[in-house]
Amino acid sequence: MSSAAASAALLKRQFKEMASGKEIVPGISCGIVDDNVYEWEVMLMLNDDMKLYGGGFFRARLSFPLDYPHMPPKMRFETPIFHPNIYPNGDVCISILHPPEEDRYGYESAAERWSPVQTPETILLSVISMLSSPNDESPANVEAAALWRENPAEFKKRVRKCVRDSLEME
């Protein structure tokens, strides 16, 4: 079996597990885009108990490379979201989605970066955790990180607007 066929088979199995109806990760719904197992549409329906983004419905896309699971997918929020670790264009910046190599800036250890034991499920759990606990030391959105640190009330106000807007979009 070629490596592309093996990665497609793995993704099909992982998708089937997540779509089985057994809510492995509560509040997450996934679908395959245009019968392409390498493109997943994800809906995060965040629990009201979450401090910041609770109650929001955020649509995202996971784009897997042909050499998955050896290399990480890319994740992009399609619903606008204001967060220190999400670029203004929606791209997610989280350690486990960085390639499995030494960080040339010395910020992350190789152990924090992508490894083939990660799954779509662990990625989404990590992103949900990131939403609750932003890392403002290495921001993708400098404005969000500055507000998170210097003006938490304004940061929370901007986040609540994102949540309201996400509900209107659905």
| Residues acting as catalytic residues | 93
Given a contact cutoff of 8 angstroms between Cβ atoms, the answer to whether 145 and 133 are in contact is no
How many Cβ atoms sit within 10 Å of the Cβ of residue 52?
19
Structural contact between residues 31 and 41, judged by C-beta atoms closer than 8 angstroms: yes
What is the b/e burial string over 146-170, where b = at least 16 CB atoms within 10 angstroms of the residue's CB? ebbeeeeeebeeebbebbeebeeee
Q: 139: Cβ–Cβ under 8 A, 6 or more apart, which residues?
A: 84, 85, 145
Measured in degrees and rounded to the nearest 5, phi and psi for residue 126 equal: -65, -40
What size, in residues, is the chain? 170
The whole-angstrom separation of Cα 31 and Cα 45 is: 14
